[in-house]
Structure 1
Amino acid sequence: MAKPMTKTQLVAALAEEMGSDKKSASAALDAVVNVITKEVSGGGAVTLPGVGKIYCRERPERMVRNPATGEQMKKEADKVVKMTIAKALKDSVNG
């Protein structure tokens, strides 16, 4: 498995794709991340065309097991961020 792209590498690739400098590409990336964070943390969802949908889901209270001791304990209800991958991206990876 290949190593994941770092933020620096992503900014450089984005700047090259946009035909812009790294500073404006970094600002654009930060703005997109901020918008997604605000929307998802507020309970909404964001669809990135061709990539997927990012959303927040609530998990109910449940029983979990401590792997070190084997003890059963109750875990409070919480929220988790999920992402559904777009069919176009799946097809491009598998095609």
Structure 2
Amino acid sequence: MANQMTKAQLVAALAERTGGDKKQAGAMLDALTGIITSTVAEGGAVTLPGVGKIYCRERPERMARNPSTGEQVKKEADKVVKITVAKALKDSINA
């Protein structure tokens, strides 16, 4: 990975692009994170146009292998957050 954007850098970039201040941009980012978290936790999905779709998927109970001992262990059913990347984003990266 070439370079990662931290939350502070993201807030600063958001404030610059919207013409607002960093405090408002930080509040907007926190609100967006809270909305996505609560919606996905309730079983819904959030689509961010041009970015992708964030949703929760249930994984069934399965057998897994302990990598250090090789022993087969039963892994309980669980939920995992998935992100499907939007075609527009894929195309812009591969252009």
Q: CA deviation at 1:79?
A: 0.2
**Mapping for residues 17-36 of structure 1, pairs under 5 Å:** 17-36=17-36
Alignment partners' CA distance in 2, 1:23 and 1:69: 50
RMSD after superposition: 0.5
What residue ranges of structure 1 are gaps of 5+ in the alignment? none
| Structure 1 residue 3: Cα displacement | 2.6
CA distance in structure 2 between the partners assigned to 1:76 and 1:3 by the alignment: 36
* TM-score (normalizing by structure 1): 0.98
- Cα separation, 1, equivalents of 2:17 and 2:2: 21
Structure 1's consecutive aligned runs of 4 or more residues displaced over 2 angstroms after TM superposition are none
Please name the residue that 1:75 is paired with. Answer: 75
Match of 1:92 in 2: 92
Flag structure 2 segments of 5+ consecutive residues without an equivalent: none
**1:53 — aligned with what?**
53
Tell me the residue number matched to 1:11.
Answer: 11
SS of structure 2 residue aligned to 1:35: helix
Determine what percentage of the aligned residue pairs are the same residue: 75
Q: CA offset at residue 2 of structure 1?
A: 1.2
Aligned AA (2:12): A
Structure 1 residue aligned with 2:40: 40
